[in-house]
Structures are given as structure tokens and as C-alpha cells.
Structure 1
Amino acid sequence: MSPRPAEIGAEVADAEAVVLVGGKGTRLRPLTLSAPKPMLPTAGVPFLTHLLSRLRAVGIRHVVLGTSYQAEVFAEYFGDGSDLGLELEYVVEDEPLDTAGAIRNVAGRLRERDVLVFNGDILSGVDLGALVRTHREHDADVTLHLVKVDDPSRFGCVPTDADGRVTAFLEKTDTPPVDQVNAGCYVFRREVIDTIPEGRPVSVERETFPGLLDSGARIQGHVDAAYWLDLGTPEAFVRGSRDLVRGEAPSAALPAEPGEALVLPGARVADGATVTGGSTVGTACTVADDARVDGSVLFEGARVGAGSVVENAVVGSGAIVGDGVVLRGTVVGDGAVIGSGCELLDGARVWPGAELAPGAIRFSSDC
């Protein structure tokens, strides 16, 4: 039986959250040229909204955002957080401080005994109440959410003993000894944060966590099989938005019931067009007759011409896709114009404002 709301709230009592949103999102360019990665429209709302809604749902009220790149965008959109039932505060990094340095940078705003810390580009279904419960039951200094992955050689892996205690932090290797990896979500005992060196870059995985292990501190692992996705690439971003729309990834902020498509108010989809596969059609978008949009994201004001095919792609704000265009696995930047009959395939990226002549064919390249 799932915990009732009152029980969940008890699990996270005396806890608050920090969300690290300072990265530049270079792997997602050109999408992140106009907005930080956590603010990209994802299943109808800025991606960060999905995480904040989950924090509110489990009883967290105080959240500190560690910002840097385009820091003002977060405060302009979320304000003090009251619309979400939260108290939001913002701390700006003047220079990149890496993960642990960014956590230390917000220490002056923290007030509770336990602090949940999230990387701001992770979409996760971890049971937050259970994570905090694991932390407290083991009287841990830090607890890590760990997930099992099919190919752990792509990550550094994190072995644990029979009691779930973390024993090491291992670098990437072709022959990893375990299949569980750091999922980018932690619970810190408040006083541990004060031990992180201040005012310089510090990595949690390369410095903070190994140092805590060497000192005898208890670092606990919380392993589960929940949904987990790093949205750091265009392919992952499209997949994450698609999974949210379909209800396969958890959120309390989806603007409609889960389904095969999310068409936002003000969008126009012609009767002869099809929108499927968890696609999102943003406000003021148009999808013309006989067009097919499948598993894709259309940002606000994008236009897809008659007979065009858009699969597993992102079409930026105000971009124009002409008639008879094929986009597969493609990113089209804000305001770009794709001429009629073009084909863009297999990771091609079109930069904001670019104009592609009719009939062009591009594979895995920038335009």
C-alpha cells in the first residue's frame, strides 16, 4: 500500500531541498542558447517544474536553487515559489564551482537537519520519502540514490556492502564490478555540507564522497528500480518529454491527463494531421494538413507545413518547417526556417535563425 499524504509528510519532516541548475547545457545546444536546460519546455512546462511539483507533493516546502547560467530566468518565472506552494530562494555562482562547491555555496540559506540535493537535469521517479527514510534509519552522513543501468561502463559505478553502505567510488571502466551508478540525488546531513571547502570548485564524486569515506563517515546507498533519465542530450530530452506526456515518468505538473499527445491551448492541429507518440505541440503552434508529428516536441509558435514528417525531433520556438519536410532525430533552433522538401536526419542540428534552402538533405551535422 502506498503511504498516505500525512505519512509521506512525516518522512520528510525537518528536510528541505537544493536543486543545482547552474550548468550551461552545452550538449543540448542549440536549444540552450535561449534558455537554461532546466527551463526548456518539457511536456508543456519548464522541466524544473516537474521536479518542484514532486517536492511539493511529498511535503517539502523550502527549496534553494543554485543558479549561474542565465540565473535571472529562474526568478523571473518562478518568483518566490508561492504559486507552487513552495518557498523558493536563489543563490548565484559567480564562477563555476562544480557539484559540491555549488552545494557549499548555498549553505547560508539552509535551515533544516537534512537536505535533499538534486542535479537539475535528472528526471527521476525515486520515492523521495523512502530515500529520506533510508538516510535516517541508517543514521547516515550522506545517502545517495543509486540506480542499476544496463551499461555501467558509461558511468562511474558505486559498489555497496550487504547493508547498503557505499564502499567506493570507481571511475569509468570497460569492466565495471557492479551495475549501480550515482543517480544525481542525495540526502546530506546539514553539518556535512559545512565541511565542504568554500569558494572553489569541488566535485562530490572525486573529492567530497571519497574524503568522507576515508574519514569513516557513513555514506549509504538507496538502490531502486524507479524511472531515471539524464536529460543531457537532445535524444534524452525528447524521450523524457515523451515519457512525461505518456505518464511513464512521474510528475504532478503535467498540464493534462497522460496520453499519446499534449496539445496546449492556442495550438492548431489540422484535421488531417496526426500527433502521436507522446508529442507536445506548444501554444500558438500550427500543424498543417497531412503532417505527422511523432514522439517530438514543438516549442511555442513553431509551424509544421503540409505533408511534413517530424519524428523524435525538437522544433524550436517560432521555427518554420516547410511543406514536405522530413525531420528524424533532429533539433531545429528557435526561429530557424526549413525549406520545403528538406530532409534532416540522424542528429542534424539547425542553429537559431538559420535558413535552409528547399530540398537540402543533411545527416548528423550542424546547419
Structure 2
Amino acid sequence: MSGRSGSPAEPMHGAEAVVLVGGRGTRLRPLTLSAPKPMLPTAGLPFLTHLLSRIRAAGITHVVLGTSYQAEVFAEYFGDGSGMGLDLEYVVEQEPLDTAGALRNVGDRLSEPDVVVFNGDILSGVDLPGLMHTHRANAADVTLHLVKVDDPRRFGCVPTDDEGRVTAFLEKTDDPPVDQVNAGCYVFRRSVIESIPADRPVSVERETFPGLLASGARLQGHVDASYWLDLGTPAAFVRGSADLVRGVVPSDALPEEPAEALMLDGARVAEGASVTAGSTIGQDCVVESGARIEASTLFDRAHVAANAVVERSVVGVDAHIGEGAVVRGAVIADGAHVGSECELLDGARVWPGVRLPAGGVRFSHDC
């Protein structure tokens, strides 16, 4: 934790939450053709369920979802939130407004002094009461969760001073001065949200935060090395799901205790098949003898034939992996069919309904 020390993290009284889930998830296509990214099955549940469960466990009950793409899917699944002990509201973004614009768009639904804001595609182990304590102990206008990463060159960096105050927002560079980056989770004073321009796109990192710094507002960093993963790519998605299954990252929504594999209702895994490394086998899936599933996610009713290998991959609803096929680091969309002895290499994506021929054909691209 950065900034002045104080008492242990207090409960999240006087706080509510906003989760921004309006993105189209283009980097995860073709998976997001049928569902928004936060609703993709992750360790047996829509990803957003895991995030909402952590928000509830931290003591926050009022949550506003800022939606856009396939907005109706969220309300159909979660309803008013009472099933999770939450009071959920939904605000639909008619046109893309960027992060700060989307936050301003939900402003009239907020009433508490402090608002915890989440990007809806981040899997994180941040201590939420600890984040709030940093915010209040430093009387901050905005507090940013900043995470230390091994390779900050891939991100814009956020330096802080000796008291943990944010001093700048830097673009990507080959020689970053610090290893801490914006983790996509913030605490805002509600009055700051109300000051964001309405009804137009506003970038939080390019406009809102630099403007606050220039005005002398206090932007505080809460710096840690907690688990953090942007689920925006297929590789990250399967890793995040596997880490949830194995208990590497916390979730109060997991249907079972952490384990090497998660088998959902009706899944049939034959003797002699191997399912490991945090794999999820969806409802009514079939995994035949000799097949090996490693660090992968099989959506409902997927079928993996005898002696096939599926590693670090996603296999969609009703998809079929043929006998002896090898699928590594690939996405097999809903209803697709991979022929026997086919080999799909890292980055290959098979689109909905496509049927790949049998006979040892190798693919390393979109099909």
C-alpha cells in the first residue's frame, strides 16, 4: 500500500461500485460473437459473476453496470442482483463514450461519496478494502490500483512520489522509468465523476487524469503485486479461467473447491482421458478415452474424441475435436468441427460452424 499509514482496512461503508462492461471484445472473436466478453464462461460461470462476488464479499451491495454491446444479456442473467445479495442497476451506452465518458454516463445512479470503478474484463486479486483505506487515509480525489509487472514496456506507466501520489501518465516506451501500470480499478469521489463532461467520449488516461493532475487534485496510487490479468485475448482468457479453477486468484463464486479440473453437470470423461492444469469441462461435454485436456476450457456439449490433445485452448458450445487431433493455443468456436488428425497451432481460430477436413492438415491462422 502506498501513501500515509493508518488503521487496518475499514469496511466499505459509504461506497458503491460501477462495472464498465460495454466493450465489444474484438480481440476475443469469434467467442464474443455469441456473448459479451464479461459473460463468457470462465471457471464454469460468466466471468462477471466472479467479479461481482468479490465486490459483494468486500461489503459493497449497490452496483451499476455500464453496458453497451448485447446489453440485454446482462439483465437477463443477473436480474436485479438479489440472487447474489446485490442491488444491480443497468445503464446502456448508446454510443461509445470511452472509459471516463461511460463512467459519467452512469453518474445519475450514484449517491455515495466514494465509487469503486472496475473495468469488466480484468481478473484481479487486489485487496478492495485495502484500496479504499488508501483512498480515504490520503483524502484522495481518485485512487488508482497500480500493479507491478515484469515487462512494463507493454503498458503505459504511472509513476508515484514518496507519498504515493501519482505524478504522471506515461505512454508505452522501450525504457520505462517504473514497473507499475494502471490496473483498471479506481476509487473516485463522486464529485469528480460529476465533473466529467457529459454526452461525449472522454478518455480517463488521456483527458480526465491529466486534467485532474494539472488542477492540483490528489491522485493516489495503491501499488501492489497482486494477481492481475487482462482477459482481452484468448490466451489470457484460458489462463485466467485455469487460475480461477486452481484457486490461484480468489473468487467467492466458484461452484467447487479449487482443484486441477472443474467438471460441470453431465460432463463425461472416459477412463484413460486426462484433464489437468485448471481445465473446465462444461455441461454435457464428452471427453473420450486417451484424450488429453490441459489448461483449457470446454464450453457446454463440446466433444473431444479419442486420443485428441487440447492445450491452452477454448472449445466452443457443440464443437467437435476429431480423433487424434492436436489443438494448441487455439480457439474453436461454437459448432465448429475439427477433423481427425488435424493440428491447430498457437493463434489459430476456427469460426462458428466451420468444418476442417480430416487427414493431418495443419492450421496456424483463421479458418
The within-5 A match list for 1:13-52 is 13-52=13-52
User: Quick one: distance in 1 between partners of 2:9 and 2:186?
Assistant: 18
Output one character per residue of 1:7-47: Cα deviation in whole Å (capped at 9) or x when no partner.
99952101000000000000001110100000000000000
User: Quick one: distance in 1 between partners of 2:174 and 2:277?
Assistant: 34
User: Quick one: distance in 2 between partners of 1:29 and 1:197?
Assistant: 32
Find the counterpart in structure 2 of residue 307 from structure 1: 307
User: Quick one: distance in 2 between partners of 1:290 and 1:99?
Assistant: 47
Letter paired with 1:333: A
Instruction: Kindly state the Cα deviation for residue 362 of structure 1 after the two structures are TM-superposed.
Output: 3.4
Find the counterpart in structure 1 of residue 230 from structure 2: 230
Say if 2:232 is the partner of 1:240: no
Find the counterpart in structure 1 of residue 187 from structure 2: 187
- Cα contact 1:123–1:229 (8 A) shared by 2: yes
The within-5 A match list for 1:6-17 is 10-17=10-17
Instruction: Kindly state the Cα deviation for residue 322 of structure 1 after the two structures are TM-superposed.
Output: 1.2
Q: Which runs of 5+ in 1 are unaligned?
A: 1-6
- Secondary structure of residue in 1 paired with 2:183: strand
The within-5 A match list for 1:126-141 is 126-141=126-141
Find the counterpart in structure 1 of residue 81 from structure 2: 81
User: Quick one: distance in 2 between partners of 1:230 and 1:132?
Assistant: 22
- Cα contact 1:8–1:129 (8 A) shared by 2: no
Instruction: Kindly state the Cα deviation for residue 225 of structure 1 after the two structures are TM-superposed.
Output: 1.1
User: Quick one: distance in 2 between partners of 1:350 and 1:113?
Assistant: 47
- Secondary structure of residue in 1 paired with 2:150: coil
User: Quick one: distance in 2 between partners of 1:35 and 1:148?
Assistant: 31
1:9–1:111: structure 2 CA closer, same or farther, 3 Å change rule? farther
Instruction: Kindly state the Cα deviation for residue 359 of structure 1 after the two structures are TM-superposed.
Output: 2.1
The within-5 A match list for 1:1-367 is 10-367=10-367
Letter paired with 1:329: G
- Cα contact 1:285–1:303 (8 A) shared by 2: yes
- Cα contact 2:261–2:277 (8 A) shared by 1: yes
User: Quick one: distance in 2 between partners of 1:233 and 1:339?
Assistant: 25
Output one character per residue of 1:65-88: Cα deviation in whole Å (capped at 9) or x when no partner.
000000000000000000100000
Find the counterpart in structure 1 of residue 3 from structure 2: none
Aligned length: 361
- Cα contact 1:8–1:58 (8 A) shared by 2: no
User: Quick one: distance in 2 between partners of 1:198 and 1:40?
Assistant: 31
User: Quick one: distance in 2 between partners of 1:90 and 1:362?
Assistant: 45
- Cα contact 1:66–1:90 (8 A) shared by 2: yes
TM-score by length of 1: 0.97
User: Quick one: distance in 1 between partners of 2:8 and 2:63?
Assistant: 17
Letter paired with 1:241: S
Deviating beyond 6 angstroms after TM superposition, the runs of 4 or more aligned structure 1 residues are none
Find the counterpart in structure 2 of residue 3 from structure 1: none
TM-score by length of 2: 0.97
